[in-house]
Amino acid sequence: MTEPQIRSVVFDVGGVLVVSPLGEFAKVDTEYGLAEGTAMGLFRGGSEFVECETGRTSFAEFSAGAVAGVEAEQGIAVPPERLGVMMTAIMGGAVHAPMYELVLELKAAGLQIGILSNVYRELDGWLRAAFPPGTVDVFAPSYDLGLRKPEPAIYARLIEMCGLPPEQIVFVDDFEENVAGAGAAGLHAILFNGEDALRKELRELGVDV
């Protein structure tokens, strides 16, 4: 039996279509003398940021609470606006050129292109400008869905939005837990390790890139 034809490729944004954010988190730690990993920890799995990424609270509300927690724990005051500057540096720049070229190449080949990303509502304008109409067919940011990766329900919603069997969809992410969640939902899940490696894995799935 032949493998089902791949008809859709869905991308995460941060760390896949834009450069990995890890360096920007470290800059904040160094700038304010915070314990290593503090800034990244604010954005990784805490319930407050989950509420923000699922559209239930604003980024300003999240930032105010986050820096208050840092000050209580470490005695160091960080302006809440600094978190916004950091996230703009991470998500507000240009899409990584080789990856954007790959997106356009896949689109021109007739594949459906999707975005599934844990992201907060205040970045909506940037996302839509970076990926204008005609570039992305399935636009699934966490703030619109009220769900976030790696919750099983978000992959089920993605499959529904794609309108395809999961085995015809490729999902690309840079976090292992998100890739594992997609794989459990039946998608072809790829852990991102650079554009060249991604092209190789897509070719192994029968995608001509």
Q: Minimal CA–CA distance to 172: which of 18, 19, 11, 60? A: 11
Is-cis flag, bond preceding 166, omega within 30? no
The residue whose two tokens read 């820096």 is 67
Residue (of 100, 168, 163) closest to 136 by Cα position: 100
Query: Which helix (H) or strand (E) segment is 141 a member of?
Result: strand 138-141
Residue 46: domain span = 22-91
Q: What is the pLDDT along the chain (209 residues), one digit of tens a residue?
A: 345 699 999 999 988 998 776 788 899 999 999 999 999 899 875 788 999 999 999 999 999 999 999 999 999 999 999 998 888 877 766 688 999 999 999 999 999 999 999 999 999 988 888 888 899 999 999 999 999 999 999 999 999 999 999 999 999 999 999 999 999 999 999 999 999 999 999 999 999 99
Angle at the Cα of 51 (from 114 to 100), degrees rounded to 5? 25
Same domain for 103 and 193, yes or no, is yes
Is 155 in the same domain as 199?
yes
> What's this model's pTM, rounded to 2 decimal places?
0.90
Q: 87 and 179 in one domain? A: no
Q: Are 123 and 83 in contact (CB under 8 A)?
A: no
Query: Is 128 found in the same domain as 101?
Result: yes
CA-atom Rg of the chain in angstroms? 18
List of residues 6+ apart from 157 with CB closer than 8 A: 140, 145, 147
What distance in Å separates the CA atoms of residue 69 and residue 65, rounded to the nearest whole number? 6
| Secondary structure element (H or E) that encloses residue 28, with its range | helix 22-32
- Provide the pLDDT for residue 61: 96
pLDDT of residue 75: 97
CB 40 within 8 A of CB 22: yes
Give me the CATH number covering residue 154: 3.40.50.1000
Identify whether residues 101 and 197 lie together within a single domain.
yes
Residue 1 domain-assigned (yes or no): no
